[in-house]
């Protein structure tokens, strides 16, 4: 089983290799999902590949952001460059880019951002030239074992590091609420912020870090090809220590030889640890804090600034760095110069406090071991690849209107104005289907966002799919693609009856996509955009409030998933005519979990293009937005 380690910088590259990894993953200055780490220039990438290969280590390069039409030729040229310098594989998310890379022999790995989480997804990968899939982090061990059983391609799972709260590849919180797209490598990490929920304040969207040491043997026995350590934005000491722990485990060394290194790993970065979803679906949230506090040594009673180190659960050594916390607040920190009873060198009220080790002098030894990185240089230049787009024969049109609905009551209020209905799969689906049939309205079952075993009873209806897994599983029937398919460019394969374009695109980008994409496309024009979908069992229905006092609704579906919605409604009523002139085939209106009174007035306004109802709709919704239509993402 391969140990795959992070290399966010030349120092991180050396650290991971000296830690004993079999392969590293890293990114260039563009198209990678970690835009805020140091990353590598083209010359450094070539030098990194040569350095790694000299040490019998493979190099996988991240090309795992969504790509705009204006960037596609540069992205293709970049992959060609990576192929030329001998990189062993690329990680990829964008389906339009994947479709454009057949000329290159470089291996292709489906990034976890692609959301592969089922046997059908792995089969889709195989049929589309993908050599390995990084499985969604939300899978349990039992689900992983079932999913990979007959896989024709390699599989990879994360075992260490940060755990996104949202289902892999589906988070829009940072983009919609903060303007920085996680799908473009610029996540602002709203999941690490404090929220108010039911009069309690806490980090309710912040997962503890994954720590999968106890699952290594079982993953190897199940047939996983590679285990991955997250952490390109962390220190090279972290890269070394994490790699060392997992490589020693992979080599079968006894825990007695590993435990000291594991303790150091818990010191160098620690926001709390969990086993992820390996043991089963549960809550991974650590709501007390979201930052790195180091290794928790225990609680002590401090009086007159004094406390006894021997009262802590864990041993303390000379020169250790300690930090003292009260709840979410850091009171202060100091370096240990003597053992036994110590005095905090700062004012601190009497009381009980938590003490964390934030520095261990052995970390300096690791920094010395890693040393200065070699000069990474290369001479290979990128070659130009021009992929010509042919204009589609799209004409200005009167778009059809599709409604997202989850109850018969709301369906009844909109059915007279609907051309199509996307109905959530639930106990009333069959009744809703009959209503649509009687009213000559096209009926489509909206599939759950995440379902590893694909045990779904949808009858003979057409389906709306959210992932490549579902697209492959239901390929024999009429399919529609949701905006969770991340259609970001006109290169997106027209494999479905219709696809909803990404909600992150601006007006000019939508217009360009429409001009060159040959398939039918839909655009969301109303509703609360889904920002997150999670398997977290601890997130209850209601709302969470951020520091700006915006309230984000939460609902739970009957598949065990929780959905976090935007605090305001997308309202593009005034732009319908210009969208029709672009040749948009259909408008999407999301009315799930909304009152029938609102649904009725929205349906009438959009059917009749009645802009005079904008004020009434705004009044009923409270807050409205124009999404990324007028701004886009970088």
Full residue range of the structural domain in which residue 585 is found: 400-529+566-625
Beta strands in 515-566 (DSSP E): 521-527, 530-534, 542-545, 551-556, 562-565
Q: Which pLDDT score is estimated for 35?
A: 67
Domain with residue 112: its CATH number is: 3.20.20.70
Q: pLDDT above 90 covers what percent of the chain? A: 96
138-161 residue pLDDT tens: 999 999 999 999 999 999 999 999
Q: Which pLDDT score is estimated for 33?
A: 67
**Do residues 136 and 222 both lie within one domain?**
yes
Q: pLDDT above 70 covers what percent of the chain? A: 100
Q: Is 39 in contact with 8 (CB distance < 8 Å)?
A: yes
On whether residue 280 sits in a domain, the answer given is no
On whether residue 606 sits in a domain, the answer given is yes
Q: Which pLDDT score is estimated for 387?
A: 81
Separation of alpha carbons 141 and 527, rounded Å: 36
**Do residues 597 and 519 both lie within one domain?**
yes
Separation of alpha carbons 589 and 601, rounded Å: 12
- Three-class SS of 203-232: CCCCECEEECHHHHHHHHHHCCCEEEECCC
**Do residues 157 and 16 both lie within one domain?**
yes
pTM of the model: 0.96
**Do residues 301 and 265 both lie within one domain?**
no
* Last residue within a domain, chosen from 361, 385, 408: 361
Angle CA(8)–CA(12)–CA(17) in degrees, nearest 5?
125
**Do residues 222 and 346 both lie within one domain?**
no
pLDDT range class, residue 517, cuts 50, 70, 90: very high
* Residue at token pair 């990678």: 32
Q: Which pLDDT score is estimated for 422?
A: 98
Separation of alpha carbons 446 and 404, rounded Å: 8
On whether residue 222 sits in a domain, the answer given is yes
Burial class (CB in 10 A: 0-12, 13-18, 19+), 8: buried
pLDDT for residue 37 is more than 80: no
H-helix segments, 362-485: 362-370, 408-414, 429-438, 468-473
On whether residue 17 sits in a domain, the answer given is yes
**Do residues 315 and 458 both lie within one domain?**
no
Q: Which pLDDT score is estimated for 388?
A: 82
**Do residues 304 and 229 both lie within one domain?**
no
Separation of alpha carbons 182 and 188, rounded Å: 8
The per-residue pLDDT of the chain, averaged, comes to 96
Q: Which pLDDT score is estimated for 466?
A: 97
On whether residue 373 sits in a domain, the answer given is no
**Do residues 267 and 300 both lie within one domain?**
no
Q: In which region does residue 604 sit, left (phi positive, over 0), alpha (psi from -120 to 50) or beta (all else)?
A: alpha
Structure tokens at 316: 């303390």
Burial class (CB in 10 A: 0-12, 13-18, 19+), 309: buried
On whether residue 366 sits in a domain, the answer given is no
Give the end-to-end CA distance of the chain in Å, rounded to a whole number. 37
How far is the CA of 187 from the CAs of 63, 500, 623, in angstroms?
Answer: 16, 23, 24
Q: Which pLDDT score is estimated for 630?
A: 95
pLDDT for residue 386 is more than 90: no
565-591 residue pLDDT tens: 999 999 999 999 999 999 999 999 999
**Do residues 253 and 305 both lie within one domain?**
no
* Residue at token pair 């589609």: 392
219-257 residue pLDDT tens: 999 999 999 999 999 999 999 999 999 999 999 999 999
What is the total count of domains within the chain? 3
On whether residue 504 sits in a domain, the answer given is yes
**Do residues 319 and 443 both lie within one domain?**
no
184-215 residue pLDDT tens: 999 999 999 999 999 999 999 999 999 999 99
**Do residues 312 and 266 both lie within one domain?**
no
Q: Is 532 in contact with 205 (CB distance < 8 Å)?
A: yes
The pair phi, psi for residue 260, each rounded to 5°, is -65, -40
* Last residue within a domain, chosen from 361, 384, 413: 361
On whether residue 82 sits in a domain, the answer given is yes
Q: Which pLDDT score is estimated for 169?
A: 85
263-313 residue pLDDT tens: 999 999 999 999 999 999 999 999 999 999 999 999 999 999 999 999 999
Q: Which of 39, 33, 26 is nearest to 94 (CA)?
A: 33
* Last residue within a domain, chosen from 241, 274, 307: 274
158-183 residue pLDDT tens: 999 999 999 988 999 999 999 999 99
Q: Which pLDDT score is estimated for 136?
A: 97
CB atoms within 10 A of CB 251: 9
**Do residues 479 and 342 both lie within one domain?**
no
For helices 596-608 and 614-621, what crossing angle results, to 10°? 150
pLDDT for residue 349 is more than 70: yes
Q: Which pLDDT score is estimated for 34?
A: 74
């Amino acid at each position: 089983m391969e140990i795959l380690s992070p290399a966010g910088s030349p120092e991180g590259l050396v650290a991971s290799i000296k830690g004993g990894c079999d392969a590293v993953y890293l990114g260039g200055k563009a198209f990678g999902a970690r835009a805020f780490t140091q990353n590598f220039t083209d010359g450094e990438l070539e030098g990194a590949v040569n350095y790694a290969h000299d040490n019998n280590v493979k190099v996988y390069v991240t090309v795992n952001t969504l790509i705009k039409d204006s960037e596609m030729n540069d992205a293709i040229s970049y992959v060609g460059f990576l192929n030329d310098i001998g990189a062993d594989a690329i990680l990829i998310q964008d389906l339009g880019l994947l479709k454009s890379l057949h000329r290159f022999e470089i291996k292709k790995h489906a990034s976890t951002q692609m959301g592969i989480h089922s046997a059908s997804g792995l089969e889709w990968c195989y049929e589309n030239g993908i050599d390995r899939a990084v499985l969604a982090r939300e899978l349990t061990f039992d689900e992983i074992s079932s999913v990979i059983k007959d896989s024709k391609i390699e599989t990879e799972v994360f075992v260490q590091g940060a755990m996104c709260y949202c289902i892999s590849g589906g988070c829009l919180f940072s983009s919609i609420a903060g303007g920085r797209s996680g799908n473009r490598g610029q996540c602002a990490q709203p999941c690490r912020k404090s929220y108010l929920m039911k009069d309690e304040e806490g980090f309710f969207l912040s997962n503890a870090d994954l720590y999968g040491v106890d699952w290594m043997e079982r993953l190897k026995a199940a047939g996983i090809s590679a285990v991955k350590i997250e952490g390109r934005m962390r220190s090279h000491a972290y890269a070394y220590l994490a790699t060392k722990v997992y490589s020693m485990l992979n080599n079968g060394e006894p825990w007695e030889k590993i435990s000291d290194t594991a303790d150091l790993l818990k010191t160098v970065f620690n926001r709390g640890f969990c086993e992820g979803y390996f043991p089963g679906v549960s809550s991974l949230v650590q709501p007390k804090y979201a930052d790195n506090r180091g290794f928790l040594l225990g609680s002590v009673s401090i009086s007159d600034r004094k406390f006894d180190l021997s009262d802590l659960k864990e041993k303390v050594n000379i020169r250790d760095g300690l930090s003292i916390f009260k709840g979410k607040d850091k009171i202060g920190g100091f370096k240990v110069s003597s053992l036994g009873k110590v005095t905090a060198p700062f004012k601190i009220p009497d009381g009980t406090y938590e003490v964390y080790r934030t520095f261990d002098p052995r970390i300096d030894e690791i920094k010395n071991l890693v040393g200065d990185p070699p000069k990474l240089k290369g001479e290979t230049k990128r070659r130009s690849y021009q992929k010509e787009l042919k204009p589609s024969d799209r004409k200005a049109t009167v778009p059809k209107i599709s409604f997202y609905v989850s109850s018969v009551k709301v369906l009844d209020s909109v059915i007279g104005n609907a051309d199509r209905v996307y109905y959530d799969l639930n106990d009333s689906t069959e009744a809703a289907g009959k209503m649509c049939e009687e009213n000559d309205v096209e009926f489509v079952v909206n599939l759950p966002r995440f379902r590893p075993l694909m045990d779904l009873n949808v009858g003979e209806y057409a389906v709306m799919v959210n992932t490549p897994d579902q697209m492959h599983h239901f390929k024999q029937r009429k399919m529609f693609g949701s905006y969770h398919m991340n259609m970001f460019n006109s290169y997106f394969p027209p494999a479905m009856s219709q696809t909803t374009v990404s909600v992150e695109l601006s007006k000019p980008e939508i217009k360009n996509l429409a001009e060159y994409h040959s398939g039918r496309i839909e655009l969301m024009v109303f509703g609360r955009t889904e920002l997150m979908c999670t398997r977290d069992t601890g997130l209850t229905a209601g709302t969470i409030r951020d520091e700006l006092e915006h309230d984000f609704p939460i609902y739970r579906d009957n598949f065990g998933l929780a959905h976090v919605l935007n605090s305001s409604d997308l309202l593009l009523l005034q732009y319908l005519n210009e969208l029709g002139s672009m040749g948009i085939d259909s408008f999407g209106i999301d009315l799930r979990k909304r009152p029938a009174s609102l649904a009725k007035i929205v349906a009438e306004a959009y059917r009749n293009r009645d802009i005079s109802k904008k004020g009434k709709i705004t009044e009923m919704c409270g807050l409205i937005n124009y999404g990324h239509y007028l701004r886009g993402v970088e």
